[in-house]
């Protein structure tokens, strides 16, 4: 094994795999809670209510991104790079104060502008109460994300998962009950649950008061606020722009859908997306752990990155492609079973979103590497390209201006992003393209076959399901099963 392939402390002994497994468990419980509440809203309020709930989630995500200023992710990166407890404590305190101030400002503006946004921007005054409650939800959400970033940076993934499971369980129970009183009530319950969760974390793990004094001595000195804030904001600013491009694109896409096709059509897209978002859990969880591992390799010059990136890409797709294909195969039954017969139009949108998110799953490993290496401006450039393709295709009418057309635009843009990541970005890190081609070709080919079968009117639904299941199983046996503890005795990355 060459020095470039020899695992370092960050990538050896299954470190990334264990962290990714806990991160996946954490993301899964959060996603299941949101899906459960989405189903409850769909059953209680129909497609219009589902569309309003989807708008609320997008507004909260977009405003929350601005309020958080990507400080949680920056905090995780800098905590991973630092081994000094005093500096880590200062980073947690400084980022917490920044997040609190920004959350109050952004949330307050959202509440003040709720009426104008509903009537003038979305052209639906009934959205005003929903948008109003997005304001305090933003503050609770950014606090929640700040706790998440701190625990990830300290590599306390197990603690994060237990905390997230408790929060999600409570969120699911009260959210389902609140769905019968309307979307605004659901948002109020989410605010209360997240506020309680942040308060618990502050008292339990993240006390940010004055530093403790040594017995008989003075309190240890810590870096001033400005000194600590500079590196946090220096990384967070460009990273915010990179992530913000994706959120803004999704928000604009839904806005165009509401204005052009109506709130009910946006509800069809929201129903499909609420299921398809589950396909991002495995890639996002692996990316969280991978970014932390890459960040901790900064001082050594990333000698093991080429081999780790290839193995990470194979592992993510070994699990995620099977899940995407199974989702595509069960679409004829999934949408109606979950949301009811009013959502049959969400079927083609779900097929295309599952295809697009399967392609984005492969891109996530490249994105994590960019962030870990601090190459956030590269991330900004590729995300801008993705956004331009999505909005260009939908806005110009190159794809149908409905839920399925929006999903098709996402799938096309995701394919281009994957090709650029492999053929342009990877060579900049002196990573041979030839080693990445097998997993890329399998990803594109299998998803293309599954998508074509599912959208064909001449292929019976059971045949589609069996074909997709067989493809997914073959990929899992090749790249997924060997990485399980009982699947192989080979060292895990």
Residue 219 lies in a domain: no
Residue 35 lies in a domain: yes
Task: Round to whole Å and give the CA distance between 278 and 331.
Answer: 14
Residue 338 lies in a domain: yes
Residue 288 lies in a domain: yes
Task: Round to whole Å and give the CA distance between 95 and 88.
Answer: 11
Residue 493 lies in a domain: no
Residue 5 lies in a domain: no
Question: Residue 428's pLDDT is what?
Answer: 86
Residue 2 lies in a domain: no
Task: Round to whole Å and give the CA distance between 291 and 152.
Answer: 11
Q: Average pLDDT, whole number, for the chain?
A: 81
pLDDT category, 467, cuts 50, 70, 90? very high
- At 282, is the secondary structure helix, strand, or coil? helix
Question: Residue 8's pLDDT is what?
Answer: 46
On the question of pLDDT at 479 being above 70, the answer is: yes
Instruction: Specify the DSSP class assigned to residue 215.
Output: T
Closest CA to 72 of 246, 233, 195, 289: 233
Question: Residue 492's pLDDT is what?
Answer: 43
Question: Residue 374's pLDDT is what?
Answer: 77
Give the highest mean pLDDT range of 229-233, 400-404, 412-416, 463-467: 412-416
User: Worst-scoring range by mean pLDDT, 74-88, 91-105, 322-336, 342-356?
Assistant: 74-88
User: Worst-scoring range by mean pLDDT, 281-285, 318-322, 433-437?
Assistant: 281-285
Question: Residue 5's pLDDT is what?
Answer: 41
Task: Round to whole Å and give the CA distance between 9 and 291.
Answer: 14
Question: Residue 471's pLDDT is what?
Answer: 93
On the question of pLDDT at 283 being above 90, the answer is: no
Does residue 354 or residue 268 have the better pLDDT?
354
Percent of the chain with pLDDT over 90: 23
User: Worst-scoring range by mean pLDDT, 76-90, 169-183, 348-362?
Assistant: 76-90
The token duo for 54 is: 């989807």
Question: Residue 298's pLDDT is what?
Answer: 67
On the question of pLDDT at 341 being above 60, the answer is: yes
Measure Cα distances from 338 to 39, 347, 432 in Å.
7, 12, 44
On the question of pLDDT at 135 being above 50, the answer is: yes
Total number of domains in the chain: 1
Question: Are residues 289 and 443 in contact, defined by beta-carbon separation less than 8 angstroms?
Answer: no
Query: Which domain range does residue 388 map to?
Result: 15-212+224-483
């Amino acid at each position: 094994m060459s020095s470039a392939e020899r695992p370092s402390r960050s990538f050896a002994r299954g470190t990334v795999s264990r962290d990714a497994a806990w991160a996946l468990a954490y993301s899964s419980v959060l996603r299941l809670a949101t899906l459960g509440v989405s189903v409850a809203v769909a059953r209680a309020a129909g497609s219009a209510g589902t569309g309003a709930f989807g708008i609320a989630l997008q507004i909260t995500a977009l405003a929350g991104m601005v309020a958080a200023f990507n400080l949680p992710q920056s905090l995780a990166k800098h905590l991973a790079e630092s081994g000094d407890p005093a500096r880590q404590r200062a980073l947690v305190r400084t980022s917490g104060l920044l997040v609190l101030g920004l959350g109050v400002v952004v949330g307050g503006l959202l509440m003040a502008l709720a009426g104008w946004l509903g009537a003038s921007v979305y052209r639906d005054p009934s959205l005003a109460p929903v948008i109003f409650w997005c304001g305090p939800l933003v503050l609770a959400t950014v606090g929640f994300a700040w706790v998440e970033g701190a625990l990830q940076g300290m590599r306390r993934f197990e603690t994060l998962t237990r905390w997230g499971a408790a929060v999600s369980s409570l969120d699911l129970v009260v959210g389902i009950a609140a769905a019968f009183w309307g979307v605004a009530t659901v948002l109020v319950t989410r605010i209360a649950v997240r506020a309680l969760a942040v308060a618990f974390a502050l008292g339990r793990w993240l006390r940010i008061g004055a530093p403790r004094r040594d017995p008989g001595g003075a309190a240890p000195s810590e870096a001033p606020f400005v000194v600590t804030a500079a590196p946090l904001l220096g990384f967070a600013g460009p990273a915010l722009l990179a992530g913000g491009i994706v959120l803004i694109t999704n928000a604009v896409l839904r806005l165009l859908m509401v204005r052009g096709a109506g709130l009910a059509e946006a509800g069809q897209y929201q129903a499909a997306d609420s299921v398809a978002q589950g396909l991002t859990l495995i890639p996002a969880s692996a990316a969280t752990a991978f970014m932390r591992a890459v960040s901790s390799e900064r001082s050594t010059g990333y000698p093991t990155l080429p081999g780790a990136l290839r193995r990470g890409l194979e592992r993510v797709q070994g699990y995620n492609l099977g899940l995407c294909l199974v989702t595509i195969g069960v679409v004829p039954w999934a949408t109606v079973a979950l949301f009811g017969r009013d959502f049959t139009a969400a079927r083609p949108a779900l097929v295309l979103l599952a295809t697009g998110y399967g392609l984005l799953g492969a891109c996530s490993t490249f994105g994590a590497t960019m962030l870990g290496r601090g190459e956030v401006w590269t991330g900004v450039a590729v995300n801008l390209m993705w956004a331009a393709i999505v909005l260009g295709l939908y806005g110009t009418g190159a794809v149908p201006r409905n839920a399925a057309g929006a999903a098709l635009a996402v799938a096309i843009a995701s394919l281009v992003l994957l090709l650029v990541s492999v053929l342009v970005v990877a060579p900049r890190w002196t990573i041979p393209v030839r080693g990445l081609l097998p997993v890329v070709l399998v990803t594109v080919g299998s998803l293309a076959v599954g998508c074509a079968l599912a959208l064909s009117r001449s292929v019976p639904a059971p045949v589609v399901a069996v074909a997709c299941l067989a493809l997914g199983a073959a990929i899992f046996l090749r790249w997924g099963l060997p990485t399980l503890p009982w699947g192989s005795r080979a060292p895990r990355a």
